[in-house]
Structure 1
Amino acid sequence: MSVLISVITAVFNDEKFIKKSVESILSQTFGNFEYIIVDDGSTDNTLNILKEIAKKDIRLIVLTQNNLGAAVARNTAINVASGLYIAIQDSDDISLPNRLEKQLYQLLNSDQKLISCTGYHVINENDEVITTNNKLYENINKNILKGSTPALHPTMMIPKDLINQIGGYNIFYNKTEDYDLILRLIENNARLEKINIPLYSYRIRENSESTLNNGAYLKRVFENHLNRINNRPENFSKVVNDQMIDKNYILKRNIREIFYSENYIVFQKLYYKNYFKLPFNYFFFFVFSFLPKQLKMSIKKIFS
């Protein structure tokens, strides 16, 4: 029987959570899949843990590479994948038991340009649920193009052909390769639809590298996206105007909007659950990002 789904994971030094994450995939209600994990040069016990699990389940394929980053690792997994659909899984997250079954059903009953994403729980290091996102959006593509994040990258299941058509992940955006991939898929007329039940648990950790440090990368990704659609007039109306998005609105957007939309879940957790432990520089940057432009310039002059 040919494999329908290839689940892919890039991992680096995640010995604490990798076993639980892998087992959440191997225990899915739908079993016709392969699970490809690329170890990105881990220096802890991650690789040994994976090898032990692979001895017990032939669906798990473990590959290794030097520390080249998540984008390269994911591309490596996609290149060897034999499934018709690619499901994303992050190395410290958990897929609920019927995730693959639900998403496959959605994709098999739709056109070939559809990308499936799901609702999700946000959990902490102790697997405690912090919040849940089940929100449905009338037009996910439109919200993404305006800088919102209604679709969580690791909840996605994508037809492999769509990924191949855009050349996979951009290895030059190793911190924001997920956002760049989604934008390029939309440029290629892909359409995202969300299953509005939580089928994934997204883990927030104390030492997680958040988008707080990646604002400049996000801005560059979005600017390059605008340049591409501007240079393809035949696509601009399809990608932007058909989504009812004002071109001037997009061009005038600033990093504050990207910052907030990308960090909404992080700050929801930190503020409502643990705001007293929030490092001062993070809190200051968060507040600073909402100040009027003129006031921000005045503050910068004081401290420059």
Structure 2
Amino acid sequence: MRYKFSIIIPCYNIEKYISKTLKNVLAQTFQNFEIILINDGSEDNTGKILDSYSNKDNRIRVIHKENEGVSEARNVGIKNAKGEYIYFLDGDDLIENTFLERANEVLKNNKIEIFSFGFNMIFENGKIKRKYSSEKYDNKIIRSKKFLSLFFNKKVGQNMCSFIVKKDIIENKIFFTKGLERGEDLEFQIKMLLRDVNLFYDKTPFFKYVSRNGSVVQSKVKLNIFNFLEVLEKFRKEIKDENLKKDLEYFFITYYFYTIKEMAIKGYTEETYNQAILILKKYEYILNKLKFNFSMNYLKMKILIIVYKISLKFLMFILKNILYKN
């Protein structure tokens, strides 16, 4: 059977959440889909739970593999997908039950290769923490490169789980980078959007990202937070469109300061701090790429650059105590 959608769910030690997620997916009003569950070397009862669901529904396939990380798990899912379209979902998040029905309606237009939509970050009790939705671009067909430009400028939001893509667009062409510990999902999305295909945007928050208390153990920051700077530098060299390159450079600068903010919030060892200075120096040139405009974001970024050049530790104090919001 040729499925309309392949839903790829990487699973690692999520025995507490995966049943709720699977029940949520199986409750879709549109039923022509398969679920590919990649058990990425779980050490708890996740694998057994996945097998129990697979035994009850022939649309569910489980692939057990050794632990190699979420990127390789998703790559395995792509290679095994039988659907016309691919959707990535994390094993502890949720979707609206009319999501695939709406996606099917949109994708009947065979000129649309990507369906992007709004999403909400919610607490475990269901209360909305933050909304990511754009009224301005609702129900519009946009070239994916244009959408990428909007994303770089924070005019639209997109998450790894807030789009569906035609399998032909990524199959044997785009994969997740194995071993990239930070930003692997964002890198994939940028590569996908650079294909310059038609994208349809719906502001409806079909995806719910669940923010869990204590889901991430607080620890001092590690140098892998800087890995994505190298990825952005690679894109900057590859992108030929000068306008898109300028948008990427703005995004590059915002991410540069994001890494500094994360250092400030999580804390760091003296060794990490000294290594971080060397890495930041390597990409410091990007700060000179900020092009003048009259926006508040520009002024804020200019202030951060000035403070950074005075004192990195003073900037971290500002980012942690003045600009950081929970």
If the length of structure 2 is used for normalisation, what is the TM-score? Answer: 0.72
How far 1:280 sits from its partner (Å)?
Answer: 7.8
Question: What are structure 1's unaligned runs of at least 5 residues?
Answer: 230-235, 268-278
Aligned runs of 1:110-129 on 2, under 5 Å?
A: 110-112=110-112, 114-129=113-128
- Residue 223 of structure 1 aligns with an amino acid whose one-letter code is E
How far 1:11 sits from its partner (Å)?
Answer: 1.3
How far 1:205 sits from its partner (Å)?
Answer: 1.9
How far 1:253 sits from its partner (Å)?
Answer: 5.4
Question: For residue 308 of structure 2, what is the aligned residue in structure 1?
Answer: 296
Once the two structures are superposed, what CA deviation does each residue of 1:232-284 show, in whole Å capped at 9, x if it has no partner?
xxxx23xx54xxx4x445446554356669x9xxx9xxxxxxxxxxx983499
Question: For residue 207 of structure 2, what is the aligned residue in structure 1?
Answer: 200
Residue 15 of structure 2 corresponds to residue 8 of structure 1: no
Residue 265 of structure 2 corresponds to residue 281 of structure 1: yes
Question: For residue 75 of structure 2, what is the aligned residue in structure 1?
Answer: 75
Once the two structures are superposed, what CA deviation does each residue of 1:158-182 show, in whole Å capped at 9, x if it has no partner?
1001111533222242432211111
Aligned runs of 1:124-143 on 2, under 5 Å?
A: 124-138=123-137, 139-143=146-150
State whether residues 174 and 191 of structure 2, in contact with CA within 8 Å, keep that contact through their aligned partners in structure 1: no
Q: Secondary structure at 2:39's aligned position in 1?
A: strand
State whether residues 39 and 47 of structure 1, in contact with CA within 8 Å, keep that contact through their aligned partners in structure 2: yes
Which residue among 158, 162, 179 is the counterpart of 2:186?
179
What is the percent sequence identity of the aligned residues? Answer: 26
CA RMSD between the two structures = 3.2
2: CA distance between counterparts of 1:178 and 1:108? 27
- Residue 108 of structure 1 aligns with an amino acid whose one-letter code is K
Question: For residue 60 of structure 1, what is the aligned residue in structure 2?
Answer: 60
2: CA distance between counterparts of 1:209 and 1:78? 27
Aligned runs of 1:80-95 on 2, under 5 Å?
A: 80-95=80-95
Residues 255 and 209 of structure 1, relative CA distance in 2, 3 Å threshold: farther
2: CA distance between counterparts of 1:132 and 1:218? 25
How far 1:17 sits from its partner (Å)?
Answer: 1.1
Question: What are structure 2's unaligned runs of at least 5 residues?
Answer: 138-145, 269-299, 317-326
Once the two structures are superposed, what CA deviation does each residue of 1:84-120 show, in whole Å capped at 9, x if it has no partner?
10011111100110111111221221415x3112222
Once the two structures are superposed, what CA deviation does each residue of 1:59-87 show, in whole Å capped at 9, x if it has no partner?
11111111101110011011111111001
Q: Secondary structure at 1:153's aligned position in 2?
A: coil
Aligned runs of 1:139-218 on 2, under 5 Å?
A: 139-146=146-153, 150-208=157-215, 215-218=225-228
Q: Secondary structure at 2:97's aligned position in 1?
A: coil
1: CA distance between counterparts of 2:173 and 2:256? 23
1: CA distance between counterparts of 2:215 and 2:129? 16
1: CA distance between counterparts of 2:309 and 2:44? 44
Once the two structures are superposed, what CA deviation does each residue of 1:136-187 show, in whole Å capped at 9, x if it has no partner?
4545222224466611221211100111153322224243221111111122
Question: For residue 29 of structure 1, what is the aligned residue in structure 2?
Answer: 29
State whether residues 36 and 63 of structure 1, in contact with CA within 8 Å, keep that contact through their aligned partners in structure 2: yes
2: CA distance between counterparts of 1:196 and 1:298? 41
Q: Secondary structure at 2:16's aligned position in 1?
A: coil
State whether residues 111 and 198 of structure 2, in contact with CA within 8 Å, keep that contact through their aligned partners in structure 1: no
Residues 70 and 187 of structure 1, relative CA distance in 2, 3 Å threshold: same
1: CA distance between counterparts of 2:256 and 2:31? 38
- Residue 208 of structure 2 aligns with an amino acid whose one-letter code is S
Residues 108 and 35 of structure 1, relative CA distance in 2, 3 Å threshold: same
1: CA distance between counterparts of 2:313 and 2:27? 56
Question: For residue 222 of structure 1, what is the aligned residue in structure 2?
Answer: 232
1: CA distance between counterparts of 2:207 and 2:251? 31
Question: For residue 18 of structure 2, what is the aligned residue in structure 1?
Answer: 18
Q: Secondary structure at 2:307's aligned position in 1?
A: helix
Question: For residue 271 of structure 1, what is the aligned residue in structure 2?
Answer: none
1: CA distance between counterparts of 2:235 and 2:198? 17
